[in-house]
């Protein structure tokens, strides 16, 4: 079966979402991560402007597998950065680093970030907002959210895709005060040491 439009690929995803979720659970070992990847897949499929796809099932599974691999690579990059940082800061590449309590600036930045995210979530369409709160904040699986709201799992995935798209756009449009400080060249080290640029 060949699909010739992005809408055909969306329909193929709707048809195969349960199979893709099972595949992703097997690949990641986590239902929550599988649900997140399915949501990301919805976003990607809805954004695709490709030509005809000869085998939509294989195409979707390949996309899903690529997302798993991308996440694994990102974890490896993050671990490498953390090892490098630990080595540079403490002279050790050990994963155990001294416990440093958050200073007042870090707590303020975290509070500002939480406030920005809360405001962005409040701007979501009502259905997407409910789904995000239940899935991301209350920790319910897509199936549990669907049951709680009396909607299909496919609808939950669509709401999550809409929510993620909106949140990325809202948060990207709004630069955090912390990011502004970093862009202007001032950072926590400059504040603590009184360094001037």
pLDDT of 188 higher than 70:
no
CATH number of 104-185: 1.10.10.10
pLDDT band at 64; cut points 50, 70, 90: very high
Per-domain boundaries in the chain: 1-93, 104-185
Confidence at residue 172, expressed as pLDDT on a 0 to 100 scale: 77
pLDDT of 67 higher than 60:
yes
CATH architecture under which domain 1-93 falls = Orthogonal Bundle (1.10)
What phi and psi, each to the nearest 5 degrees, are found at residue 53?
Answer: -115, 120
- pTM for the model: 0.48
Taking only the tens place, the pLDDT of each residue in 141-184 is: 988 999 999 999 889 989 998 888 888 887 777 655 555 454 44
Q: How far apart are CA 22 and CA 63, in angstroms?
A: 15
pLDDT of 191 higher than 50:
no
């Amino acid at each position: 079966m060949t699909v010739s439009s992005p809408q055909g690929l969306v329909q193929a995803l709707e048809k195969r979402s349960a199979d893709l979720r099972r595949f992703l659970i097997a690949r990641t070992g986590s239902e929550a991560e599988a649900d997140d990847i399915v949501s990301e897949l919805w976003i990607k499929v809805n954004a695709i402007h490709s030509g005809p796809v000869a085998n939509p099932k294989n195409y979707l599974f390949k996309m899903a597998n690529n997302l798993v691999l991308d996440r694994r690579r990102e974890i490896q990059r993050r671990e490498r950065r953390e090892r490098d940082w630990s080595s540079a800061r403490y002279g050790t590449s050990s994963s155990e680093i001294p416990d440093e309590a958050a200073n007042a600036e870090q707590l303020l930045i975290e509070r500002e970030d939480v406030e920005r995210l809360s405001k962005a979530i409040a701007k979501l369409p009502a259905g997407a907002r409910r789904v995000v709160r239940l899935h991301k904040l209350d920790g319910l699986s897509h199936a549990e959210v669907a049951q709680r709201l009396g909607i299909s799992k496919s609808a939950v995935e669509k709401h999550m895709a809409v929510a993620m798209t909106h949140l990325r756009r809202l948060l990207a449009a709004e630069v955090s005060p912390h990011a502004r400080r970093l862009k202007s060249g001032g950072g926590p080290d400059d504040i603590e040491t009184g360094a001037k640029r």
